[in-house]
Amino acid sequence: MEKNKLIKITENFKGKKIGVIGDLMLDHFMWGDADRISPEAPIPVVVVARESFVPGGAGNTAANIAALGGKAFIVGLVGKDLAGKILLSEFKKRGIEIGGVTVHSKKPTIQKIRVVARSQQVVRVDKEDVQYVDDNVERKLLEFIVLHIKEWDGIVVSDYAKGLITKNLAENIVNLAVKYKKPIIGDVKPKHAPFFKNITLLSPNQKESLEISGVSDFEVAGKIIQKQLNCSVLLTRGAKGATLFENNNVKHFPAVAREVFDVSGAGDTVVAVATLALAAGANLEQATIIANHAAGIVVGKLGTATVGPEELKQYLES
């Protein structure tokens, strides 16, 4: 496919308004060194040199959109706690709109705390409450979406099954997207996949496609999901690349990563970039190629990372 056409699409990312709905998380990294074993247990002692915070979960999807010049409107929930304040501050730093974020007094902000020594992740600590949100929170989120969906150019749902995405919320979002003819892409946990019938594009990884379809052959799985949910499917397959199921066509795209350091967050990058591409006028095949290249860049970075416009342009040109 003509490179210039793909690059032109990425240049049209700028200013595109994307609604990002899903489970918000704070990724907290502790970076340090480990050169001895603890006398208390057979574990390394990590001396922390610095700490960093970045948006995770649906927040990482929004950060990827913002990094490429899009305008992300985040819709989700944080706790009334320090982690929530830090996360909202990180969103503001990146120019992400936070009017759709509900601050909850009883649910804590989801945190993933990673301890990294000499570029090697030593341990991850998760803080979370995965109970579904109550009707009041659901109604508040839906009201915000109804108010803003007309001005959005696309929608992405990043569902980590941490309690934000209910059946009612998911079905309402898809119905609104169909009503207003907005492209909507879902990166959703298998148990919630049935909530997303008629979505534009579902993007599971190979393991998730097996859970959704009950079939281990990825090509058969993709076709089953396509039929069950009446949507196109972008199946991400790690080092084997990605496969797009659209109408009666199945197309494979090889992986383009030059080196792989960290695959965490690559799925967020894929759906963020694919949504931006569709909003910028790409067809599904073009959106897949651009998203596949973006994922190839992001897995070469350590930690929760994003891709910049120049990086993406150079990668598409090479």
Global pTM?
0.93
- What is the DSSP code (8-state) at residue 83? H
DSSP-assigned beta bridge partners for residue 46: 34
How far is CA 98 from each of CA 28, 64, 94, rounded to the nearest angstrom? 20, 15, 11
How far is CA 206 from each of CA 116, 144, 233, 267, rounded to the nearest angstrom? 27, 33, 11, 12
- Other Cβ atoms closer than 10 A to 148: 16
Annotated catalytic residue 268: yes
- What is the DSSP code (8-state) at residue 202? E
Residues 165-213 pLDDT 10s: 999 999 999 999 999 999 999 999 999 999 999 999 999 999 999 999 9
Residue 143 — very low, low, confident or very high, per pLDDT cuts 50/70/90? very high
Closest alpha carbon to 183 in 105, 287, 83, 313: 287
Residue 173's pLDDT is 98
Lowest-pLDDT choice from 4-8, 30-34, 50-54, 95-99: 4-8
Residues 290-309 pLDDT 10s: 999 998 888 888 777 788 88
Each domain of the chain, given as residue ranges in start order, spans 3-34+43-317
Point out the catalytic residue in the list 23, 27, 187, 268: 268
CATH number of 3-34+43-317: 3.40.1190.20
By CB atoms closer than 10 A (0-12, 13-18, 19+), residue 150 is exposed
Residue 262's pLDDT is 62
Question: CA torsion, points 164, 169, 174, 175, in degrees to nearest 10?
Answer: -170
Residue 183's pLDDT is 98
